[in-house]
Amino acid sequence: MVRRCLPLLLLAAVLFPDPVSAQTDSLENKLSIRLQSVTHGEACGGGMPRAAVSTEDVSNFLYGRTRLIVGYERPVLQVHTVFQNTAVWGMKGNQGVNLYEGWVKLRSRHGLFAQAGRVALSYDDERIIGTNDFATAAYSHDVLRLGYEGHGHKFHAILAYNQNADNLYSGTYYDGGAQYYKTMQTVWYHYDIPKFPLGASLLLINLGQQAGQPESEADPARIEYQQMMGGYLKYHPKILTFEASYYRQTGKVVDQDKEAMPIKAWMASAKATVKPGERWGFELGYDHLSGDDYVPVTYGGQLGLPRHEVEGGFSPMYGSRNKFYGIMDYFYASAYTNGFTPGLQNAFIGAFGKPFSSLTCGITYHYLAVATHLEDLSRTLGHSVELKLSYAISKDISLSAGYTQMSGTETMARLKQEGDSKQARWGWFSLAISPSIFSSKW
């Protein structure tokens, strides 16, 4: 028992070298209770196929998301819990009730911290790890996070090991759990240069996914690992903000059939934002996500395609995809029908403004193309125009709405195996209410 507790005792000694501060911190306590309610509606037309269900049957829906957020804090301790219910209007039962976040965090005066539980992780611009909060349920992870923050430096080490149950004899094989991986080890380092508007981050991820089948001699259960490595830069002098990132994926990726395949993929991005005035500005940028070297484009029917030997399509992993590749999330929310990934080139330009303090509006144009050479087809996928409005009714009530018009090419229709992919329309609205129910200090 002493041997098991020794690592925890050593960690506590490092975090809290001064026992006096641990005794007096109870004089500064904070308790808060908040409620978050989001009502979201969508109306769609055209676009990707939905199995045997007609577009008309799935084109309109409403969903609600309700969160109860309880937080407690004192100088060395922070506790955070978020209960969440998500459901499409009319859905039977309470199938969407879960614990979205539930963690405890120990902090020291010297910038060290230890955090354990279910955490909504967010790093840099959320391209690789983010909350994906526009989605119904959003992302959270069961992790142990250790780190240091101070003097411009931030260092986080994240460890995760997932199980389906606590059964001693059959709980090792992980399939269909809350997260999409068996194990994860992540290191993130960020540095803000003093007196200079430049910040830089490095990110390393080692992700273990369950492969094979339990109790199978031909394809035994095992963990296959893939690695993600790269960095992010943000330069912000006066009216200009410049962002750039680059990431590579290596190792092995596991598909839905629990088969492992080598992966060699990469992505690069650059974005510039200019704000000549306080209430308006412009942005332009470019994203390149690698694809498979060979992508068949046979149209219709059973394709009978060969299995590719190396996965060349870059995966955004657990990033907030709606922020980058069009808010429709048209390319990475679902796979292409032939199982191959042609990659993506996304060149965009937009303008945004605040006509008055409570209203924000914006328009963005996307030129979309594959990153892989296609025989007898253009690389151009199509063009997309997005409009978005956000109105703050009060400090805790806001209404957002948007509309997207996608004009696709023959390449889009062939890759998605659906003629309607040439034209797609999508409108949405979101009403968010986030009142503070209770707050106390003592």
Q: List the structure tokens of 71.
A: 């937080």
pLDDT value at 54 more than 60: no
Which range has the worst mean pLDDT, 8-12, 61-65, 153-157?
A: 8-12
Q: Identify the pLDDT of residue 55.
A: 44
Q: Identify the pLDDT of residue 1.
A: 41
Q: For residue 221, which of 253, 251, 258 has the smallest C-alpha distance?
A: 258
Topology (CATH level 3) of domain 30-167+174-441: Porin (2.40.160)
pLDDT value at 301 more than 50: no
Spatial CB neighbours of 153, under 8 Å, sequence gap ≥ 6: 189, 190, 191
What integer is the mean pLDDT of 353-378?
92
CB 406 within 8 A of CB 382: yes
Instruction: Give tens-digit pLDDT for 333-364.
Output: 655 656 678 899 999 999 999 999 999 999 99
CA angle 127, 128, 131 (to 5 degrees): 80
d(CA 401, CA 392): 12
Instruction: Give tens-digit pLDDT for 388-399.
Output: 999 999 999 999
Instruction: Give tens-digit pLDDT for 229-241.
Output: 999 999 999 899 9
CB 141 within 8 A of CB 115: no
Q: For residue 329, which of 372, 410, 386 has the smallest C-alpha distance?
A: 386
Neighbours of 335 (CB within 10 A): 13
Q: Identify the pLDDT of residue 2.
A: 38
Q: Identify the pLDDT of residue 368.
A: 94
Give the best-scoring range by mean pLDDT among 7-21, 82-96, 287-301, 376-390.
Answer: 376-390
CB 159 within 8 A of CB 179: no
Q: HEC string of the chain?
A: CHHHHHHHHHHHHHHCCCHHHHHHHHHCCEEEEEEEEEEEEEEEEECCCECCECHHHHCEEEEEEEEEEEEEEECCEEEEEEEEEEEECCCCCCCCEEEEEEEEEEECCCCEEEEEEEECCCCCCCCCECCCCCCCCCCCEEEEEEEEEECCEEEEEEEEECCCCCCCCCCCCCCCCCCCCCEEEEEEEEEECCCCCEEEEEEEEEEEEEECECCCCCCECEEEEEEEEEEEEEECCCCEEEEEEEEEEEEEEECCCCCEEEECEEEEEEEEEEEEECCEEEEEEEEEECCCCCCCCCCCCCCCCCCCCCECCCCCCECCHHHCCCCCCCCCCCCCCCCCCCCEEEEEEEEEEEEECCEEEEEEEEEEECCCCCCCCCCEEEEEEEEEEEEEEECCEEEEEEEEEEEECHHHHHHHCCHHHHEEEEEEEEEEECCEEEEEEC
Q: List the structure tokens of 257.
A: 């059939």
Confidence of residue 298 (pLDDT cuts 50, 70, 90): low
